Amino acid sequence: MENETKKCKHCKTDILKDAKVCPNCKKKQGGKLKWIIIAVVVLGVIGAAMGGGKGSTTTQEPKVSDNKDKSDNDKVNETKEETKEETKDQTAEPEVSTEFKNALKKAEQYSDTMHMSKQGIYDQLTSEYGEKFSAEAAQYAVDNLQADYKKNALEKAKEYQETMSMSLEAIKDQLISEYGEKFTQEEADYAIANLPQ
């Protein structure tokens, strides 16, 4: 699945097609997505209310024939106990909620297509004008995101160098600014050191 981008209506930088707020200029992007989501939810509620209940299906445990000897029954019981223990081991792992999984997917999109910093991704995920994920879901996403933030800083620096003709010092300031890209000093230093001259 290829991530699509569009131009910000205000600053004309490339942003994710479904972004609600430009991470560069922080201005809200209008759109019909909210109305589409509302329509889907309403249709889903109507469909659920009109749809009939699903019939329950039961599965029966296979019966052991009476003409088998006791050792066969013991083997079956041992197998059942082993299966129960394996099931307990598998369910011991905590299940990740859908919200957390979606936050991680969105974080991957921001990292891969827009080369955002860890703090920038977190802020975009939790923004009331952005993705509106909970702080916990956003923290899970940035903690579990497999991203090379030095590489992201370098890619963002290249964008500034090529499209805005900025000086190295201005690029570095933009990379570390709390109103800009929010990369760490180390990530910004790496980007500046590795920019093509």
Q: Is residue 97 part of a domain?
A: no
Query: What pLDDT, on the 0 to 100 scale, is given for residue 43?
Result: 76
For residue 14, the model assigns a pLDDT of 82
Q: Tell me: the pLDDT tens digits for 135-178?
A: 999 999 999 999 999 999 999 999 999 998 889 999 999 999 99
Tokens of 189: 């230093």
| Cβ atoms 130, 114 nearer than 8 A | no
Phi, psi values for residue 195, rounded to 5°: -70, 140
Within the chain, strands assigned E span: 5-7, 14-16
Residue 33 lies in a domain: no
Distance CA 60, CA 41 (A): 37
Average pLDDT of 35-62? 63
pLDDT (0 to 100) of residue 25: 78
Q: What is the pLDDT of residue 70?
A: 52
Q: Indicate whether 20 belongs to any domain.
A: no
Instruction: Report the pLDDT averaged over residues 62-90.
Output: 54
**Residue 145 backbone phi and psi in degrees, to 5:** -75, 130
Q: How high is the pLDDT of residue 165?
A: 86
Residue range of the domain that includes 187: 148-197
For residue 16, list its beta bridge partners. Answer: 5
Is 184 part of any domain? yes
Residue 17 included in any domain: no
- Residue 42 pLDDT grade (very low, low, confident, very high; cuts 50, 70, 90): confident
Q: What is the mean pLDDT of the chain?
A: 79
**Beta strands of 1-147 (E only): which ranges?**
5-7, 14-16
pLDDT digits (tens, 9 = 90+) for 94-135: 788 999 999 999 999 999 999 999 999 999 999 999 899 999
Is 171 within a domain?
Answer: yes
Q: What pLDDT, on the 0 to 100 scale, is given for residue 78?
A: 59
C-beta separation of 156 from 149 below 8 A: no
Query: Number of structural domains, the chain?
Result: 1
Is the pLDDT at 8 greater than 50? The verdict is yes
Token match 């690029």: residue? 171
Q: Please check whether residue 195 lies inside any domain of the structure.
A: yes
Looking at the domain assignment, is residue 41 inside a domain? no
Residue pair 141/33 in contact by the 8 Å Cβ criterion: no
Q: Phi and psi at residue 142, in whole multiples of 5°?
A: -70, -30
* CATH code, domain with 157: 1.10.10.10
Query: Residue 19 in contact with residue 130, Cβ under 8 Å?
Result: yes
Alpha-carbon gap, residue 137 to 167, rounded angstroms:
37
- Strand, coil or helix: 15: strand
Above 80 in pLDDT, residue 49? no
Highest mean pLDDT among 5-9, 85-89, 91-95, 162-166: 162-166
- Residue-level pLDDT at 58: 46
